[in-house]
Amino acid sequence: MKSPIQNKVNTIFIHVSNLEQSVAWYCDLLGQDFDLATVSRPVYNLQVNQEVGITLDAGPLGTEKNIKALEYPLFNFHTEDIDAAYDYLKELNYEIADEIIRFDDLSFFTVKDPDQHIIMICTG
């Protein structure tokens, strides 16, 4: 039987404890405009330039998620300039988890979001 499941990622769900705080953090990270007056639970969809969506999910109103962050990155955001990306996040006072690591064809560093999820910023 052929699988009805396609070999593509559709949406990345990032589970968050405070939707408004996370919307501000991720929108600032990506340089996106946002209006907190339009943010309402349970989810907020970030603007992305590809087929894969990113949804911040705080759950239904009246519930509270007990977030347990992983010890490794959930995914990465791409950059063409690792140093500019690092400097930008330092200016935002974001928590840098790991400093820049450089290889011949790849450089990356990690940052923690408000729920302590580790996000990789990566070239290559």
Give yes or no: residues 63 and 73 share one domain: no
Amino acid code (one letter) for 102: R
CATH number of the domain bearing residue 121: 3.10.180.10
Give yes or no: residues 10 and 61 share one domain: yes
Please list the pLDDT of the chain residue by residue as tens digits (124 residues): 886 667 777 889 999 999 999 999 999 999 999 999 999 889 999 988 888 889 999 999 899 888 998 889 988 999 999 999 999 999 999 999 999 999 988 999 999 999 999 999 999 7
Write out the residue range of the structural domain in which residue 61 sits. Answer: 1-67
Largest CA distance in the chain: 53
